[in-house]
Structure 1
Amino acid sequence: MMLITTSHRPTRRTRSFGHDLERVFPNSLYLTRGKKTLQDLLMEAYDRGYERLLIINVWKGNPLKMTFIKVDPEDWGYLGYLYLHGIKLQREIGFRDLRPIKEDMPLVVTVAKRTGIDHLSFAQVFAELTGGTFVPRRNYSLTTIADKYNTDVIGVVERHPRGIAINFHRMDVERERAVGPLISVKIWIMEDGRRWDYKEALGLKRGEQASKDFLSLE
């Protein structure tokens, strides 16, 4: 599905995040960046047969941005970007040492129940970025969706106090609980101009979020 790597000089937490993504993106690989240039990474992804390159950028020790790139020597290009509020790793959720999925199966992306139009839009965008398959939730259970699409991996877009989040289910590991990583997204931007910003969605102006966060503590 995709080659996953980081910006130069990643932190331990960023590397752990890359490994977690390798465990929920079927047929993907986490690669240590080292001194490789972007061109080196694109060529390596192409040589390994991947259609996507994902680069995780770090800021103050934590993953800040996920950049998705289309791998094609004649038509490569940036697809879009996710700017993150934060993440929760698989080990922080209670799952350690999951095996990567090397079988050929789709990553299915859907939404949690009782979500809104913004969540639906992001689910479709995330499927585009990853090369996954978007499936409307309706009244289906995750088990029903997994069985119908013959997959063990479902990314579920859900509500989050500070934006939109996506969490991952490994049906071969645990059918009732998400295994992570949990990714909280504050902004997504597609190269074709589509975008979403959680502050704009909530009607917040600059400086208002600090007051909102403070009041929520009272």
Structure 2
Amino acid sequence: MIITSSRKPSQRTRSFLRDLERTLNIPYIQRGKLSLKDLFNIDKHILLIGEFRGNPGTLVVYDAEKNKRLSSFISVKLQREICGTKVYNNDGLKLIVDDKLWENDEFKNIYKSYDEFLFIHLNINDNSNIILRLERDPKYLFAIQFYKNRVKIGPLIRVKSLKIFNSLY
């Protein structure tokens, strides 16, 4: 899987992309003039961050093998806004889901979608000291927060909505 952005990302979006690159340990490709077809020649699985008013606003996961895409509207906080330092991940992620989320049937379907599109392509390792935690958020569907040794390290991704499409475009 690779991470990329819209064609001319703002500085805040580029910072968010670098945060994701460090915490997810996935390569970030600067898009420039590359089309989606060019990106699919690099990798069949793409995490594309789009913008809304100069801020990261969409998270789209493309799966060229299944000819599907998952699209989410998001709100974010950067790593520097949460912990003030850059945190690097070299040993995978431990995935934890807040127990209260499992009580909601809608969340179970959402989790299945994220697991099928995104989590399956991450290096999930139960012995990792970096934790990707799905948490309850009263204003949103859920939040994705990263921790290291029980300390929030960011970035924080709040998912507002989610849709799955049976085509790449």
**Given the two structures, how large is their TM-score scaled by the length of structure 2?**
0.82
Per-residue deviation, residues 109-167 of structure 1 (Å, max 9, x unmatched): 3312433424444333322221438xxxxxxxxxxx96xx2334332111213112111
Whose RCO is larger (CA < 8 A, sep 6+)?
A: 2
Does the aligned pair in 2 maintain the 1:123–1:157 contact within 8 Å? no
Aligned residue for 1:178, secondary structure, equals strand
1:124 aligns with one of 91, 112, 119 = 112
- Partner residue of 2:28? 30
Aligned-residue CA RMSD (Å): 2.4
The change in CA–CA distance for 1:56 and 1:158 in structure 2 (over 3 A counts) is same
Mark the CA change 1:168 to 1:127 in structure 2 (over 3 Å): closer, same or farther. Answer: farther
Residue 140 of structure 2 corresponds to residue 166 of structure 1: no
- Bigger proportion of residues as strand: 2
Q: Quick one: structure 1 residues 158 and 54, their matched pair in 2 at CA, closer, same or farther if it must change by over 3 Å?
A: same
Matched, 1:110 2:88: no
Q: Distance in 2 between matches of 1:165 and 1:121?
A: 15
Tell me if structure 1 keeps the 8 A contact 2:129–2:149: no
**1:20, CA displacement in angstroms?**
1.0
* SS of equivalent to 2:143: strand
Equivalent position of 2:73 in the other structure: 83
Q: Which amino acid aligns with 1:112?
A: D
Question: What code does the residue aligned with 1:110 have?
Answer: I
For each residue in 1:18-74, what CA deviation from the matched residue of structure 2 results, as whole angstroms up to 9, or x when unmatched?
Answer: 111112223x101111111111111122xxxxx521111111011111111124xxx
Report what 1:7 is aligned to.
6
Partner of 1:186: 160
- Distance in structure 2 (CA, Å) of the matches to 1:154 and 1:132: 15
Larger Rg: 1
Percent identity for Structure 1 against Structure 2: 31
Given that 1:119 and 1:159 are in contact with CA atoms closer than 8 Å, whether structure 2 keeps it comes out as: no
* Contact 1:110–1:123, Cα closer than 8 Å, also in 2: no
Give, as a single letter, the amino acid of the residue that structure 1 aligns with 2:67. G
Where does residue 94 of structure 1 map in the other structure? 83
Cα contact 2:77–2:155 (8 A) shared by 1: yes
User: Which letter does structure 2 place at the counterpart of 1:130?
Assistant: L
Instruction: Name stretches of at least 5 consecutive residues in structure 2 with no aligned partner.
Output: none
Conserved? CA contact 2:23–2:88, under 8 Å: no
Contact conserved, 2:94 with 2:127, CA < 8 A, in 1?
no
